[in-house]
Structure 1
Amino acid sequence: MLVFWEQKLVLLATPKTGSTSLASALESLSSVSIQRPPVLKHTTVHRYHRFVGPYLEAAAQAEWTVVALMREPRDWLNSWYRFRSREDQTDPAKSTKGMSFDEFVRGWCSDPRPAFADVGAQEKFLRPRQGRGVDRLFRYAEIDIFVDFLEERLGCEIILPRVNVSPPGEAHLTPGTETLLHQIAAADFALYETLRHPEQA
C-alpha cells in the first residue's frame, strides 16, 4: 500500500497485479509505503476504509482517492499457480511444482481450499462489505492506462521495472474445469466485466 499525501491518493496492493513493480517505481514519491508484512502490504478495501481511511481523512481534513488494479480472474490464478511453482517456495504444502494448472484451479474451486490454492479472491479484496469501495479500479492488462492516470496525478514520468515475475508455466484448463471456475468465480468475473471502457461495450 502506498500513500501520497499531497495528492490525497492511496494505492491498494491487490496481490499478483504488479504491486512490487509499482512500489519499486513509486515508493520514493510516496509519503507512506507499507511493503511488509504481506497482511499489511495487501490491505483490503474493507480494512482500509475501516482502519486506515478514517485516520488519513481526519489528519488531512480532506477526502482521499483510493485506486487499485484487478487482473483477469483466470490469468490471476495462473499467476499464483506459476508463482508457487518457484524453486524457492519454502512451504511444501503451498508448492505447485509438478502440478498442472487444471489441478490448481480445481483446488481453488474446492471448499475448503487446500493450502496450495488458498490464495483468496480479488472480488473479496476489492469489494467492501458495506459502504464505500475503490474509487478507481483499473485492469492490470491495461496497466498503461493506469500509469497514465498516475503520471497525471503525481506529475512525473513513471517507468515500471520488471520485478518479482513468476516463472513461465502452462495455462491449460479442461472444459469442465473452465466451467467450474466461471461458476465459483462468478463474482470476480462480473466485477472484472464492469471495468470495460465504453468503446469496448
Structure 2
Amino acid sequence: MLVFWDQKLAFLATPKTGSTAIEAALESLSAVVVQRPPVLKHTSVQRFHRFLGPYLEVASGHPFTVCAMMREPRDWLGSWFRYRQRDEVVDPRKSTIGKSFDEFVLAYCSDDQPEFAAVGSQAQFLKPRKEKGVDHLFRYEDIDRFVTFLEDRLGCEIILPRLNVSPLASLELDPATEAKLREFAADDFRLYHAIPQA
C-alpha cells in the first residue's frame, strides 16, 4: 500500500497484480509505504475505509482518492499457482509443487479449501465498505493505462521494474473445471468485466 500525501491518493495493493513493482518504482514519492507484513501491505478496501481512510482524512482535512488494480480471475489464480511452485515456499501445505493447475483450481473452488489453494478473492479484497469503494480500478492487463493515471496524478514519468516474477508452469484447465471456476468466482469475473477499458 502506498499513500501520496500531497496528491491525496492511496494505492491499495491487490495481491498478485504487480504491486511489488509499483511499490519499488514509487516508494521514494510516497509519504507512507507499507510493504510488510502481507496483512498490512495488502490492506483491503473495507479495512482501508474503516481504519486508515478516516485517519488520513482527519489528519489532512481532505478525503483520499483510492486506486487499485485487478487481474483477470483465471490469470490471477494462475499467478498464485505458479508463485506457490517456488522452492522458497517453506510451508509444504501451501506449496503447489507436484500439483496441476486443474487440481489447484478444483481445490480453490471447494467449500473447504486446502491451504495451498486458500488465496482469497479479488472481489472480496475490492469490496466496498458501505458506499466507499475504489475510485479508480484498473485491469492488470492494461497496466499502461494505470501508469498513465499515476503519471498524471504524480507529475512524473514512471518506469516499472520487473519484480516478483513467478516460474513458468502449464495453466491448462479441463472445460468442466473452467466452468466450475466461472460459477464459483462469478463475483470476480463480473467485477473484472465491469472495469472500463481504454
Q: TM-score, normalised by structure 2?
A: 0.98
- Give, as a single letter, the amino acid of the residue that structure 1 aligns with 2:40: L
Gaps of 5+ in 2: none
- The structure 1 segments of at least 4 consecutive aligned residues displaced by more than 6 Å after TM superposition are none
Q: Which residue of 2 aligns with 1:154?
A: 154
Aligned-residue offset at 1:31: 0.3
- Give, as a single letter, the amino acid of the residue that structure 1 aligns with 2:135: D
Q: How far apart in 2 are the matches of 1:132 and 1:151?
A: 24
- Give, as a single letter, the amino acid of the residue that structure 1 aligns with 2:18: G
Aligned-residue offset at 1:26: 0.3
Matched residue pairs, number?
198
Q: How far apart in 2 are the matches of 1:150 and 1:137?
A: 12
Verify: 1:68 aligned to 2:68, yes or no: yes
Q: How far apart in 2 are the matches of 1:6 and 1:35?
A: 20
Show the 5 A alignment for 1:60-99: 60-99=60-99
The one-character-per-residue Cα deviations of 1:31-67 (angstroms, maximum 9, x if unpaired) are 0000000000000000000000000000000111000
Q: How far apart in 2 are the matches of 1:86 and 1:168?
A: 10
Q: Which residue of 2 aligns with 1:51?
A: 51
CA contact (8 A) 2:81 2:96 kept: yes
Q: How far apart in 1 are the matches of 2:129 and 2:31?
A: 28
Question: Any idea what SS the aligned residue of 2:7 has?
Answer: coil
Q: How far apart in 2 are the matches of 1:152 and 1:131?
A: 26
Q: Which residue of 2 aligns with 1:166?
A: 166
Q: TM-score, normalised by structure 1?
A: 0.97
Q: How far apart in 2 are the matches of 1:175 and 1:150?
A: 38
User: What's the RMSD between the two structures over aligned residues?
Assistant: 0.8
CA contact (8 A) 2:66 2:135 kept: yes
Q: How far apart in 1 are the matches of 2:129 and 2:182?
A: 22
Aligned-residue offset at 1:196: 3.2
Q: How far apart in 1 are the matches of 2:166 and 2:71?
A: 14
Question: Any idea what SS the aligned residue of 2:86 has?
Answer: coil
Q: Which residue of 2 aligns with 1:33?
A: 33
Q: How far apart in 1 are the matches of 2:121 and 2:36?
A: 20
Q: Which residue of 1 aligns with 2:186?
A: 186
Q: How far apart in 2 are the matches of 1:40 and 1:27?
A: 16
The one-character-per-residue Cα deviations of 1:62-96 (angstroms, maximum 9, x if unpaired) are 11100000000000000000000001110000000
The one-character-per-residue Cα deviations of 1:126-170 (angstroms, maximum 9, x if unpaired) are 012422100000000000000000001000000000111111111
Question: Any idea what SS the aligned residue of 2:170 has?
Answer: coil
- Give, as a single letter, the amino acid of the residue that structure 1 aligns with 2:155: G
Q: How far apart in 2 are the matches of 1:117 and 1:99?
A: 11
The one-character-per-residue Cα deviations of 1:94-137 (angstroms, maximum 9, x if unpaired) are 00011100000000000111000000000000012422100000
Question: Any idea what SS the aligned residue of 2:102 has?
Answer: helix
Question: Any idea what SS the aligned residue of 2:3 has?
Answer: strand
Aligned residues: percent identity? 63
Question: Any idea what SS the aligned residue of 2:69 has?
Answer: strand
